[in-house]
Structure 1
Amino acid sequence: MSPEPVNRWEPHTVTTTETVDPGPVAALSALFDDGTPPAGPGDALPPLWHWLALARWPRSSTLGADGHPARGTFLPPVELPRRMFAGGEVVFHAPLTVGSTVRRESSVESVAEKPGRSGPLVVVAVATRLYDESGRLAIEERQDLVYRGREAVPPQETPPGPAAGLAPAGAPLTRAGAWAWDLATDPALLMRFSAATSNPHRIHYDWPYATRVEGYPGLVVHGPLMTLALAEVLRLEGHGGRVHRMRHRNRRPLFCGQAARLRRIGDSPLTLGVLTPDSPEPRTLLTIEGDPHA
Protein backbone atom coordinates (compact mmCIF):
# COMPACT_ATOMS: atom_id res chain seq x y z
CA MET A 1 0.00 0.00 0.00
CA SER A 2 1.57 3.27 -1.11
CA PRO A 3 1.62 6.29 1.20
CA GLU A 4 -0.83 9.12 0.74
CA PRO A 5 0.26 12.13 -1.33
CA VAL A 6 1.86 14.99 0.58
CA ASN A 7 -1.06 17.30 -0.20
CA ARG A 8 -3.48 15.00 1.72
CA TRP A 9 -1.33 14.89 4.83
CA GLU A 10 -2.20 17.22 7.72
CA PRO A 11 0.48 18.61 10.08
CA HIS A 12 -0.17 18.49 13.80
CA THR A 13 1.60 19.32 17.06
CA VAL A 14 3.00 16.55 19.24
CA THR A 15 3.47 17.46 22.92
CA THR A 16 5.46 15.23 25.28
CA THR A 17 6.94 15.48 28.77
CA GLU A 18 10.44 14.03 28.98
CA THR A 19 13.48 13.77 31.22
CA VAL A 20 16.87 15.14 30.20
CA ASP A 21 18.42 11.68 30.26
CA PRO A 22 21.89 11.49 31.86
CA GLY A 23 22.65 8.17 30.12
CA PRO A 24 23.08 9.50 26.55
CA VAL A 25 24.88 12.57 27.94
CA ALA A 26 27.45 10.30 29.57
CA ALA A 27 27.59 8.24 26.35
CA LEU A 28 28.51 11.28 24.24
CA SER A 29 31.14 12.37 26.76
CA ALA A 30 32.70 8.90 26.53
CA LEU A 31 32.44 8.96 22.74
CA PHE A 32 34.27 12.29 22.38
CA ASP A 33 36.79 11.28 25.07
CA ASP A 34 38.39 14.70 24.77
CA GLY A 35 39.08 15.71 28.37
CA THR A 36 36.24 18.23 28.69
CA PRO A 37 34.23 17.94 31.94
CA PRO A 38 31.27 15.58 31.59
CA ALA A 39 27.83 17.00 32.40
CA GLY A 40 26.20 15.19 35.30
CA PRO A 41 22.84 15.47 37.10
CA GLY A 42 22.06 19.11 37.82
CA ASP A 43 24.62 20.45 35.33
CA ALA A 44 23.63 22.56 32.33
CA LEU A 45 23.65 20.75 29.00
CA PRO A 46 26.33 21.93 26.54
CA PRO A 47 24.88 23.54 23.41
CA LEU A 48 23.02 21.08 21.15
CA TRP A 49 23.34 18.14 23.55
CA HIS A 50 19.54 18.07 23.90
CA TRP A 51 19.64 16.21 20.56
CA LEU A 52 20.70 13.09 22.45
CA ALA A 53 19.50 13.85 25.98
CA LEU A 54 15.90 13.95 24.71
CA ALA A 55 16.16 11.34 21.95
CA ARG A 56 13.86 8.33 22.25
CA TRP A 57 13.81 5.04 20.32
CA PRO A 58 10.84 4.58 17.99
CA ARG A 59 8.77 1.41 18.30
CA SER A 60 9.98 -1.37 16.00
CA SER A 61 6.58 -1.73 14.35
CA THR A 62 6.77 1.88 13.13
CA LEU A 63 10.04 1.56 11.19
CA GLY A 64 10.31 1.70 7.43
CA ALA A 65 12.83 -0.09 5.20
CA ASP A 66 15.51 2.58 5.81
CA GLY A 67 15.28 2.20 9.59
CA HIS A 68 13.47 5.50 10.12
CA PRO A 69 9.87 5.64 11.33
CA ALA A 70 7.55 5.23 8.36
CA ARG A 71 6.40 8.56 6.97
CA GLY A 72 2.82 9.71 6.92
CA THR A 73 2.19 10.15 10.66
CA PHE A 74 4.19 13.01 12.18
CA LEU A 75 6.37 13.55 9.11
CA PRO A 76 4.72 13.85 5.69
CA PRO A 77 4.58 10.78 3.41
CA VAL A 78 7.37 11.90 1.07
CA GLU A 79 8.18 9.10 -1.39
CA LEU A 80 11.74 10.19 -2.25
CA PRO A 81 14.03 7.56 -0.70
CA ARG A 82 17.02 9.46 0.65
CA ARG A 83 16.70 11.48 3.84
CA MET A 84 19.36 13.97 4.97
CA PHE A 85 19.61 16.11 8.09
CA ALA A 86 20.32 19.31 6.17
CA GLY A 87 20.63 21.88 8.93
CA GLY A 88 18.62 24.33 10.94
CA GLU A 89 18.74 26.92 13.68
CA VAL A 90 18.67 26.73 17.48
CA VAL A 91 17.94 29.66 19.80
CA PHE A 92 18.96 29.23 23.45
CA HIS A 93 16.82 31.20 25.92
CA ALA A 94 17.64 29.34 29.14
CA PRO A 95 19.75 26.32 30.08
CA LEU A 96 18.38 22.79 30.41
CA THR A 97 19.88 20.73 33.21
CA VAL A 98 20.68 17.04 33.22
CA GLY A 99 17.98 15.06 35.02
CA SER A 100 15.32 17.77 34.79
CA THR A 101 11.88 17.41 33.21
CA VAL A 102 11.01 19.32 30.04
CA ARG A 103 7.96 19.77 27.87
CA ARG A 104 8.53 19.36 24.16
CA GLU A 105 6.19 20.73 21.48
CA SER A 106 7.01 19.67 17.92
CA SER A 107 5.28 20.30 14.62
CA VAL A 108 6.02 20.33 10.91
CA GLU A 109 6.38 23.97 9.97
CA SER A 110 6.52 23.60 6.20
CA VAL A 111 6.82 21.11 3.33
CA ALA A 112 8.33 22.48 0.11
CA GLU A 113 9.03 20.74 -3.19
CA LYS A 114 12.08 22.18 -4.97
CA PRO A 115 14.20 21.36 -8.03
CA GLY A 116 17.71 20.09 -7.27
CA ARG A 117 20.87 19.58 -9.31
CA SER A 118 20.20 15.85 -9.52
CA GLY A 119 16.40 15.84 -9.42
CA PRO A 120 13.48 16.97 -7.28
CA LEU A 121 13.82 17.61 -3.55
CA VAL A 122 11.36 17.92 -0.72
CA VAL A 123 12.42 20.10 2.23
CA VAL A 124 10.59 19.51 5.49
CA ALA A 125 11.06 22.03 8.32
CA VAL A 126 10.31 20.75 11.83
CA ALA A 127 9.80 23.29 14.63
CA THR A 128 10.40 22.36 18.28
CA ARG A 129 10.01 24.30 21.51
CA LEU A 130 11.43 23.03 24.80
CA TYR A 131 10.16 24.35 28.15
CA ASP A 132 11.98 23.81 31.46
CA GLU A 133 10.44 22.63 34.73
CA SER A 134 9.20 26.13 35.57
CA GLY A 135 7.40 26.38 32.23
CA ARG A 136 9.94 28.85 30.84
CA LEU A 137 10.83 28.59 27.16
CA ALA A 138 14.40 27.24 27.07
CA ILE A 139 15.09 26.32 23.45
CA GLU A 140 13.46 27.12 20.10
CA GLU A 141 14.62 25.06 17.16
CA ARG A 142 14.05 24.49 13.48
CA GLN A 143 15.43 21.39 11.77
CA ASP A 144 15.51 21.05 7.99
CA LEU A 145 15.15 17.55 6.55
CA VAL A 146 15.79 17.03 2.84
CA TYR A 147 14.40 14.11 0.89
CA ARG A 148 15.83 13.32 -2.54
CA GLY A 149 16.25 10.54 -5.05
CA ARG A 150 19.24 8.27 -5.42
CA GLU A 151 21.99 9.39 -7.74
CA ALA A 152 25.55 8.37 -8.51
CA VAL A 153 28.42 9.46 -6.27
CA PRO A 154 29.67 12.89 -7.47
CA PRO A 155 32.81 12.60 -9.63
CA GLN A 156 34.92 14.54 -7.10
CA GLU A 157 34.03 12.12 -4.32
CA THR A 158 36.62 9.52 -3.35
CA PRO A 159 34.76 6.40 -2.24
CA PRO A 160 36.32 5.11 0.99
CA GLY A 161 35.52 1.51 -0.04
CA PRO A 162 34.39 -1.40 2.13
CA ALA A 163 37.55 -1.51 4.28
CA ALA A 164 37.60 2.21 5.13
CA GLY A 165 37.38 2.94 8.81
CA LEU A 166 38.04 -0.65 9.92
CA ALA A 167 41.10 0.33 11.95
CA PRO A 168 40.11 1.70 15.38
CA ALA A 169 40.11 5.48 15.22
CA GLY A 170 40.70 6.01 18.93
CA ALA A 171 39.56 9.33 20.38
CA PRO A 172 37.83 11.06 17.47
CA LEU A 173 39.13 14.60 18.08
CA THR A 174 42.84 15.43 17.90
CA ARG A 175 44.29 18.94 17.98
CA ALA A 176 45.85 20.03 14.68
CA GLY A 177 46.48 23.69 15.56
CA ALA A 178 44.70 26.74 16.96
CA TRP A 179 40.97 26.25 16.39
CA ALA A 180 41.77 23.20 14.24
CA TRP A 181 40.91 19.61 15.18
CA ASP A 182 41.12 16.42 13.16
CA LEU A 183 38.00 14.25 13.21
CA ALA A 184 38.52 10.49 12.87
CA THR A 185 35.59 8.12 12.38
CA ASP A 186 35.19 4.37 12.39
CA PRO A 187 32.17 2.03 12.34
CA ALA A 188 32.20 1.67 16.14
CA LEU A 189 32.00 5.45 16.56
CA LEU A 190 29.02 5.65 14.20
CA MET A 191 27.29 2.75 15.95
CA ARG A 192 27.81 4.36 19.37
CA PHE A 193 26.46 7.70 18.16
CA SER A 194 23.43 6.01 16.62
CA ALA A 195 22.79 4.35 19.99
CA ALA A 196 23.28 7.58 21.98
CA THR A 197 20.84 9.47 19.73
CA SER A 198 18.31 6.61 19.32
CA ASN A 199 18.85 6.78 15.55
CA PRO A 200 18.00 3.57 13.63
CA HIS A 201 18.76 5.03 10.15
CA ARG A 202 20.57 2.20 8.36
CA ILE A 203 22.97 4.36 6.31
CA HIS A 204 25.04 4.87 9.48
CA TYR A 205 25.67 1.21 10.45
CA ASP A 206 24.49 -1.13 7.65
CA TRP A 207 27.21 -1.07 4.99
CA PRO A 208 25.40 -3.32 2.44
CA TYR A 209 22.27 -1.19 2.74
CA ALA A 210 24.17 2.12 2.54
CA THR A 211 26.11 1.08 -0.58
CA ARG A 212 23.81 -1.31 -2.47
CA VAL A 213 20.43 0.26 -1.73
CA GLU A 214 21.13 3.94 -1.06
CA GLY A 215 24.10 4.06 -3.46
CA TYR A 216 26.57 5.71 -1.10
CA PRO A 217 30.30 4.80 -1.28
CA GLY A 218 30.35 3.82 2.39
CA LEU A 219 28.75 4.35 5.77
CA VAL A 220 27.52 7.93 6.18
CA VAL A 221 28.72 9.98 9.16
CA HIS A 222 25.72 11.49 10.94
CA GLY A 223 25.07 15.14 10.19
CA PRO A 224 24.32 15.78 13.88
CA LEU A 225 27.62 14.11 14.83
CA MET A 226 29.57 16.54 12.65
CA THR A 227 27.59 19.49 14.02
CA LEU A 228 28.02 18.38 17.64
CA ALA A 229 31.76 17.89 17.04
CA LEU A 230 31.95 21.49 15.80
CA ALA A 231 30.07 22.65 18.90
CA GLU A 232 32.50 20.65 21.05
CA VAL A 233 35.36 22.71 19.60
CA LEU A 234 33.97 25.66 21.55
CA ARG A 235 34.55 23.80 24.82
CA LEU A 236 37.92 22.46 23.70
CA GLU A 237 39.10 25.98 22.86
CA GLY A 238 37.89 27.35 26.21
CA HIS A 239 35.09 29.47 24.75
CA GLY A 240 33.21 30.27 27.94
CA GLY A 241 30.77 32.81 26.53
CA ARG A 242 27.01 32.49 26.46
CA VAL A 243 25.68 31.05 23.20
CA HIS A 244 22.42 32.65 22.08
CA ARG A 245 21.96 31.12 18.65
CA MET A 246 23.47 28.43 16.44
CA ARG A 247 22.86 27.97 12.74
CA HIS A 248 24.02 24.73 11.17
CA ARG A 249 24.06 23.43 7.64
CA ASN A 250 25.14 20.09 6.17
CA ARG A 251 26.18 20.61 2.57
CA ARG A 252 27.68 17.25 1.63
CA PRO A 253 27.95 13.90 3.39
CA LEU A 254 31.11 12.69 5.07
CA PHE A 255 31.88 8.96 4.88
CA CYS A 256 33.24 6.68 7.56
CA GLY A 257 37.06 6.69 7.63
CA GLN A 258 37.33 9.80 5.46
CA ALA A 259 39.87 12.35 6.68
CA ALA A 260 38.24 15.51 8.02
CA ARG A 261 39.30 18.62 9.90
CA LEU A 262 37.19 20.91 12.08
CA ARG A 263 38.39 24.46 11.59
CA ARG A 264 37.54 28.05 12.40
CA ILE A 265 36.70 29.71 9.10
CA GLY A 266 35.08 32.98 10.18
CA ASP A 267 35.12 35.43 13.08
CA SER A 268 32.15 37.74 12.81
CA PRO A 269 30.08 35.77 13.60
CA LEU A 270 32.22 32.86 14.76
CA THR A 271 31.92 30.14 12.10
CA LEU A 272 33.33 26.62 12.21
CA GLY A 273 33.44 24.11 9.37
CA VAL A 274 34.15 20.45 8.59
CA LEU A 275 36.62 20.28 5.70
CA THR A 276 38.17 17.39 3.77
CA PRO A 277 41.43 17.34 1.75
CA ASP A 278 39.59 16.82 -1.55
CA SER A 279 37.51 20.01 -1.44
CA PRO A 280 37.88 23.61 -0.20
CA GLU A 281 34.16 23.78 0.50
CA PRO A 282 33.02 22.84 4.04
CA ARG A 283 30.78 19.80 4.29
CA THR A 284 29.16 21.13 7.46
CA LEU A 285 28.99 24.69 8.81
CA LEU A 286 28.17 25.93 12.30
CA THR A 287 27.68 29.63 13.01
CA ILE A 288 27.61 30.78 16.63
CA GLU A 289 26.08 34.01 17.94
CA GLY A 290 26.42 35.10 21.56
CA ASP A 291 28.37 37.01 24.13
CA PRO A 292 31.97 35.68 24.19
CA HIS A 293 32.53 37.11 27.69
CA ALA A 294 29.26 36.24 29.48
Structure 2
Amino acid sequence: MTTAELVDPAPAAALAALFDNGLPAPRPGEDLPPLWHWVALPRWPVSSELGPDGHPARGTFLPPIDLPRRMFAGGEVLIHRAPKIGETVTRMSIVDSVTEKSGRSGKLVIVVVRTVLSDGSPLVEERQDIIYREAGTPASEAPVQPADLAGAPFRRTKDGWDFATDPTLLMRFSAATANPHRIHYDWPYATRIEGYPSLVVHGPLMSLALAEVLRLDSPDMRVTRLAHRNLAPLFCGQPAQLRTEPRPGGATLTLVGDAGPRTSLEADYHEEGHSHA
Protein backbone atom coordinates (compact mmCIF):
# COMPACT_ATOMS: atom_id res chain seq x y z
CA MET A 1 0.00 0.00 0.00
CA THR A 2 1.51 3.32 -1.11
CA THR A 3 -0.03 6.74 -0.47
CA ALA A 4 0.99 10.40 -0.50
CA GLU A 5 0.06 12.01 2.81
CA LEU A 6 0.25 15.38 4.56
CA VAL A 7 2.11 15.62 7.87
CA ASP A 8 -0.95 17.16 9.49
CA PRO A 9 -0.49 19.95 12.07
CA ALA A 10 -3.96 19.48 13.62
CA PRO A 11 -3.49 16.03 15.25
CA ALA A 12 0.05 17.05 16.27
CA ALA A 13 -1.45 20.06 18.07
CA ALA A 14 -4.02 17.71 19.63
CA LEU A 15 -1.27 15.47 21.00
CA ALA A 16 0.62 18.47 22.42
CA ALA A 17 -2.59 19.58 24.19
CA LEU A 18 -3.14 16.03 25.46
CA PHE A 19 0.39 15.77 26.88
CA ASP A 20 0.18 19.27 28.43
CA ASN A 21 3.83 19.06 29.50
CA GLY A 22 5.01 22.60 28.72
CA LEU A 23 6.46 21.84 25.30
CA PRO A 24 4.84 23.72 22.40
CA ALA A 25 3.10 22.00 19.53
CA PRO A 26 5.38 21.73 16.47
CA ARG A 27 4.55 24.41 13.91
CA PRO A 28 4.56 24.19 10.11
CA GLY A 29 8.12 23.70 8.86
CA GLU A 30 9.35 22.29 12.17
CA ASP A 31 10.51 18.71 12.74
CA LEU A 32 8.00 16.15 13.88
CA PRO A 33 9.08 14.79 17.30
CA PRO A 34 10.07 11.11 17.50
CA LEU A 35 7.12 8.70 17.04
CA TRP A 36 4.68 11.57 16.40
CA HIS A 37 4.12 10.26 12.86
CA TRP A 38 1.67 7.86 14.55
CA VAL A 39 -0.45 10.95 15.17
CA ALA A 40 0.40 13.30 12.30
CA LEU A 41 -0.36 10.73 9.58
CA PRO A 42 -3.76 9.39 10.68
CA ARG A 43 -5.73 6.89 8.60
CA TRP A 44 -9.44 6.94 9.40
CA PRO A 45 -11.18 3.70 8.33
CA VAL A 46 -14.65 4.08 6.86
CA SER A 47 -17.43 3.01 9.22
CA SER A 48 -18.68 0.15 7.05
CA GLU A 49 -15.27 -1.57 7.23
CA LEU A 50 -15.09 -1.80 11.03
CA GLY A 51 -15.13 -5.20 12.73
CA PRO A 52 -16.67 -6.11 16.12
CA ASP A 53 -13.62 -4.80 18.05
CA GLY A 54 -13.69 -1.43 16.27
CA HIS A 55 -10.65 -2.14 14.09
CA PRO A 56 -11.01 -2.42 10.32
CA ALA A 57 -12.20 -5.91 9.41
CA ARG A 58 -9.27 -8.15 8.55
CA GLY A 59 -8.70 -9.34 5.03
CA THR A 60 -8.11 -5.95 3.40
CA PHE A 61 -4.57 -4.81 4.28
CA LEU A 62 -4.03 -7.05 7.31
CA PRO A 63 -4.54 -10.80 6.82
CA PRO A 64 -7.88 -12.48 7.76
CA ILE A 65 -6.82 -13.81 11.18
CA ASP A 66 -9.65 -15.35 13.19
CA LEU A 67 -8.47 -14.38 16.69
CA PRO A 68 -10.31 -11.62 18.58
CA ARG A 69 -7.67 -9.92 20.72
CA ARG A 70 -5.31 -7.54 18.94
CA MET A 71 -2.26 -6.03 20.67
CA PHE A 72 0.42 -3.59 19.59
CA ALA A 73 3.45 -5.57 20.73
CA GLY A 74 6.34 -3.31 19.76
CA GLY A 75 8.68 -2.53 16.91
CA GLU A 76 11.58 -0.37 15.78
CA VAL A 77 11.82 3.05 14.15
CA LEU A 78 14.85 4.40 12.28
CA ILE A 79 14.82 8.18 11.77
CA HIS A 80 17.05 9.37 8.92
CA ARG A 81 15.41 12.80 8.84
CA ALA A 82 12.38 13.86 10.82
CA PRO A 83 9.36 14.67 8.63
CA LYS A 84 8.34 18.31 8.89
CA ILE A 85 4.92 19.59 9.81
CA GLY A 86 3.06 20.60 6.66
CA GLU A 87 5.10 18.62 4.14
CA THR A 88 3.73 15.81 2.01
CA VAL A 89 5.47 12.44 2.30
CA THR A 90 5.05 9.08 0.62
CA ARG A 91 4.03 6.23 2.92
CA MET A 92 4.60 2.65 1.74
CA SER A 93 3.40 -0.18 4.00
CA ILE A 94 3.62 -3.93 3.51
CA VAL A 95 2.81 -7.01 5.59
CA ASP A 96 6.27 -8.52 5.96
CA SER A 97 5.41 -11.77 7.73
CA VAL A 98 2.67 -13.74 9.48
CA THR A 99 3.77 -16.29 12.09
CA GLU A 100 1.54 -18.68 14.07
CA LYS A 101 2.62 -19.75 17.56
CA SER A 102 1.25 -21.34 20.71
CA GLY A 103 1.82 -19.66 24.06
CA ARG A 104 0.69 -20.07 27.66
CA SER A 105 -2.52 -18.20 26.81
CA GLY A 106 -3.22 -20.36 23.76
CA LYS A 107 -2.88 -19.77 20.04
CA LEU A 108 -1.43 -16.49 18.81
CA VAL A 109 -0.39 -14.96 15.49
CA ILE A 110 2.39 -12.38 15.07
CA VAL A 111 2.04 -10.01 12.11
CA VAL A 112 5.00 -7.81 11.14
CA VAL A 113 4.20 -4.65 9.19
CA ARG A 114 6.95 -2.55 7.63
CA THR A 115 6.47 1.09 6.68
CA VAL A 116 8.74 3.62 4.96
CA LEU A 117 8.09 7.36 4.92
CA SER A 118 10.04 9.13 2.20
CA ASP A 119 10.42 12.31 0.20
CA GLY A 120 12.29 10.54 -2.61
CA SER A 121 14.75 9.09 -0.09
CA PRO A 122 13.83 7.36 3.19
CA LEU A 123 12.92 9.62 6.09
CA VAL A 124 11.58 7.04 8.56
CA GLU A 125 11.78 3.25 8.38
CA GLU A 126 9.55 1.35 10.77
CA ARG A 127 8.70 -2.18 11.82
CA GLN A 128 5.56 -2.84 13.85
CA ASP A 129 4.79 -6.14 15.56
CA ILE A 130 1.07 -6.88 16.02
CA ILE A 131 -0.12 -9.87 18.03
CA TYR A 132 -3.52 -11.56 17.70
CA ARG A 133 -4.62 -13.79 20.59
CA GLU A 134 -7.55 -15.83 21.77
CA ALA A 135 -10.19 -14.05 23.87
CA GLY A 136 -9.89 -13.80 27.63
CA THR A 137 -12.58 -14.90 30.07
CA PRO A 138 -15.30 -12.23 30.18
CA ALA A 139 -15.72 -10.59 33.56
CA SER A 140 -19.05 -11.31 35.27
CA GLU A 141 -19.13 -7.82 36.74
CA ALA A 142 -17.23 -4.80 35.47
CA PRO A 143 -15.03 -3.13 38.12
CA VAL A 144 -15.81 0.42 39.13
CA GLN A 145 -14.60 2.86 36.50
CA PRO A 146 -12.18 5.52 37.78
CA ALA A 147 -14.21 8.70 38.24
CA ASP A 148 -11.52 11.27 38.97
CA LEU A 149 -9.77 13.04 36.12
CA ALA A 150 -5.99 12.74 36.29
CA GLY A 151 -5.16 16.15 34.85
CA ALA A 152 -1.86 16.61 33.00
CA PRO A 153 -0.40 13.11 32.50
CA PHE A 154 3.28 14.07 33.04
CA ARG A 155 4.38 14.93 36.59
CA ARG A 156 8.03 15.44 37.44
CA THR A 157 9.33 13.71 40.57
CA LYS A 158 12.75 13.52 42.20
CA ASP A 159 13.26 10.13 40.50
CA GLY A 160 11.93 10.99 37.03
CA TRP A 161 8.32 11.29 35.92
CA ASP A 162 4.97 9.94 36.98
CA PHE A 163 2.47 9.15 34.20
CA ALA A 164 -1.25 9.37 34.94
CA THR A 165 -4.16 8.20 32.78
CA ASP A 166 -7.93 8.58 32.87
CA PRO A 167 -10.78 7.74 30.46
CA THR A 168 -10.70 11.18 28.82
CA LEU A 169 -6.98 10.84 28.05
CA LEU A 170 -7.57 7.47 26.38
CA MET A 171 -10.55 8.76 24.42
CA ARG A 172 -8.63 11.82 23.18
CA PHE A 173 -5.62 9.70 22.18
CA SER A 174 -7.88 7.32 20.28
CA ALA A 175 -9.30 10.30 18.39
CA ALA A 176 -5.88 11.89 17.73
CA THR A 177 -4.51 8.63 16.29
CA ALA A 178 -7.66 7.56 14.37
CA ASN A 179 -7.76 4.42 16.51
CA PRO A 180 -11.29 2.97 16.90
CA HIS A 181 -10.22 -0.09 18.94
CA ARG A 182 -12.96 -0.43 21.56
CA ILE A 183 -10.75 -1.69 24.41
CA HIS A 184 -9.50 1.88 24.91
CA TYR A 185 -12.83 3.70 25.35
CA ASP A 186 -15.74 1.23 25.52
CA TRP A 187 -15.84 0.08 29.15
CA PRO A 188 -18.49 -2.68 28.81
CA TYR A 189 -16.78 -4.11 25.71
CA ALA A 190 -13.29 -4.08 27.26
CA THR A 191 -14.38 -5.74 30.51
CA ARG A 192 -17.32 -7.96 29.57
CA ILE A 193 -16.41 -9.05 26.04
CA GLU A 194 -12.59 -9.13 25.97
CA GLY A 195 -12.25 -9.85 29.70
CA TYR A 196 -9.91 -7.01 30.70
CA PRO A 197 -10.27 -5.57 34.22
CA SER A 198 -10.50 -2.01 32.91
CA LEU A 199 -9.94 0.15 29.85
CA VAL A 200 -6.55 -0.64 28.29
CA VAL A 201 -3.95 2.12 27.89
CA HIS A 202 -2.77 2.21 24.26
CA GLY A 203 0.62 0.62 23.54
CA PRO A 204 1.58 3.56 21.27
CA LEU A 205 0.62 6.02 24.04
CA MET A 206 3.00 4.33 26.47
CA SER A 207 5.82 4.31 23.90
CA LEU A 208 5.16 7.96 23.01
CA ALA A 209 5.21 8.89 26.69
CA LEU A 210 8.68 7.38 27.02
CA ALA A 211 9.89 9.13 23.85
CA GLU A 212 8.50 12.39 25.23
CA VAL A 213 10.75 12.06 28.28
CA LEU A 214 13.71 12.35 25.91
CA ARG A 215 12.35 15.69 24.66
CA LEU A 216 11.70 16.88 28.22
CA ASP A 217 15.03 15.83 29.72
CA SER A 218 17.38 15.96 26.70
CA PRO A 219 16.05 18.63 24.32
CA ASP A 220 19.37 18.96 22.43
CA MET A 221 19.54 15.31 21.45
CA ARG A 222 18.55 14.11 17.98
CA VAL A 223 17.00 10.66 18.12
CA THR A 224 18.06 8.29 15.32
CA ARG A 225 16.59 4.95 16.47
CA LEU A 226 13.85 3.80 18.81
CA ALA A 227 13.11 0.16 19.63
CA HIS A 228 9.96 -0.23 21.71
CA ARG A 229 8.40 -3.28 23.32
CA ASN A 230 5.14 -3.65 25.22
CA LEU A 231 5.75 -6.09 28.06
CA ALA A 232 2.36 -6.13 29.79
CA PRO A 233 -0.84 -4.07 29.71
CA LEU A 234 -1.37 -0.93 31.76
CA PHE A 235 -4.96 -0.24 32.73
CA CYS A 236 -6.69 3.09 32.95
CA GLY A 237 -6.06 4.89 36.24
CA GLN A 238 -3.20 2.63 37.36
CA PRO A 239 -0.18 4.61 38.61
CA ALA A 240 2.94 4.45 36.46
CA GLN A 241 6.44 5.89 36.41
CA LEU A 242 8.69 6.80 33.47
CA ARG A 243 12.32 5.90 34.23
CA THR A 244 15.49 6.62 32.26
CA GLU A 245 18.86 4.88 32.34
CA PRO A 246 21.46 6.73 30.20
CA ARG A 247 24.04 4.71 28.28
CA PRO A 248 26.73 5.69 25.77
CA GLY A 249 25.00 7.01 22.67
CA GLY A 250 21.50 6.67 24.04
CA ALA A 251 19.26 5.58 26.87
CA THR A 252 16.95 2.82 28.04
CA LEU A 253 13.55 4.02 29.20
CA THR A 254 10.91 1.99 31.03
CA LEU A 255 7.29 2.61 31.94
CA VAL A 256 6.77 0.84 35.24
CA GLY A 257 3.42 0.10 36.89
CA ASP A 258 2.61 -1.36 40.30
CA ALA A 259 3.05 -4.89 38.92
CA GLY A 260 6.37 -4.16 37.17
CA PRO A 261 7.56 -2.97 33.75
CA ARG A 262 4.83 -2.35 31.17
CA THR A 263 6.77 -0.90 28.21
CA SER A 264 10.46 -0.48 27.37
CA LEU A 265 12.16 1.84 24.89
CA GLU A 266 15.74 1.70 23.62
CA ALA A 267 16.84 5.04 22.15
CA ASP A 268 19.94 5.94 20.15
CA TYR A 269 20.67 9.67 19.83
CA HIS A 270 23.38 12.25 19.51
CA GLU A 271 23.65 15.93 20.27
CA GLU A 272 22.50 18.27 17.51
CA GLY A 273 25.46 19.43 15.44
CA HIS A 274 27.60 16.42 16.40
CA SER A 275 27.93 13.01 14.75
CA HIS A 276 28.20 9.69 16.51
CA ALA A 277 31.53 9.07 18.20
> Fold match, TM over 0.5?
yes
Tell me how far apart the structure 1 counterparts of residues 132 and 268 of structure 2 sit (CA, whole Å): 29
- Poorly superposed stretches of 4+, deviation over 3 Å: none
Distance 2:89 2:142 in 1: 41
Which residue of 267, 270, 275 corresponds with 1:291?
A: 270
Distance across 2 between alignment mates of 1:194 and 1:289: 28
Distance 1:266 1:215, change over 3 A: farther
1-side partners of 2:228 and 2:137: how far apart? 26
Question: What SS class does the counterpart of residue 207 from structure 2 fall into?
Answer: helix
Which AA in structure 2 matches 1:276?
G
Query: What is the CA–CA distance in structure 1 between the aligned matches of 2:23 and 2:215, rounded to whole Å?
Result: 7
For residue 161 of structure 1, what is the amino acid of its counterpart?
A: P
CA distance in 2, matches of 1:197, 1:264: 26
Match 1:227 to one of 179, 186, 207: 207
**CA distance change for structure 1 residues 102 and 162 in 2, over 3 Å: closer, same or farther?**
same
Provide the residue aligned with 1:7 in structure 2: none
State whether residues 17 and 101 of structure 1, in contact with CA within 8 Å, keep that contact through their aligned partners in structure 2: yes
User: Contact (CA 8 Å) 2:142, 2:191: kept in 1 or not?
Assistant: no
**Residues 2-52 of structure 1, C-alpha deviation per residue, up to 9 Å, x if partnerless?**
xxxxxxxxxxxx000000000000000000000012201111000000001
- Could you tell me the TM-score, scaled by structure 1's length? 0.88
Which of 144, 148, 157 lines up with 1:167 in the alignment? Answer: 148
Q: Distance in 1 between matches of 2:7 and 2:194?
A: 33
Q: Structure 1 residue 108 and structure 2 residue 95: aligned? A: yes
**Contact 1:246–1:289, Cα closer than 8 Å, also in 2:** yes
Query: Which of 256, 259, 265 is the aligned partner of 2:239?
Result: 259
Q: Cα deviation per residue 1:55-88 (whole Å; 9 max; x = unaligned)?
A: 1210001100000000011101111110000000
Q: What's the CA shift for 1:206?
A: 0.1
SS at match of 1:26: helix
Output the aligned Cα RMSD. Answer: 1.6
Asked if residue 40 in structure 1 is aligned to residue 42 in structure 2, the reply is no
Q: Is the 8 A contact 2:77 2:226 kept in 1?
A: yes
1:75 matched to 2:66? The reply is no
Residue of structure 2 aligned with 1:278, choices 233, 256, 259: 259
Structure 1 residue 54 corresponds to structure 2 residue 62: no
Residue 266 of structure 1, CA deviation? 5.5
1:1-294 equivalences in 2 (<5 Å): 14-132=1-119, 135-152=120-137, 161-164=143-146, 166-178=147-159, 180-265=160-245, 267-268=247-248, 269-279=250-260, 282-292=261-271, 294=274
Q: Contact 1:160–1:257 (CA<8 Å) still a contact in 2?
A: no
Q: Are the aligned partners of 1:48 and 1:228 in contact in 2 as well (CA < 8 Å)?
A: yes
Q: Assess, with a 3 A threshold, how the Cα gap between structure 1 residues 217 and 191 changes in structure 2: closer, same or farther.
A: same
1:204 positional shift:
0.3
Percent of residue pairs identical: 60
Work out whether residues 160 and 256 of structure 1, in 8 Å CA contact, stay in contact via their aligned partners in 2. Answer: no
**How far has the Cα of 1:241 moved from its partner?**
1.5
Q: TM-score, normalised by structure 2?
A: 0.94
1:221 offset after TM fit, Å?
0.3
**8 Å contact from structure 2 (residues 29, 86) kept in 1:** yes
Residue 3 of structure 1 corresponds to none
Gap runs ≥5 in structure 1: 1-13, 154-158
Q: How far did residue 117 of structure 1 move?
A: 1.4
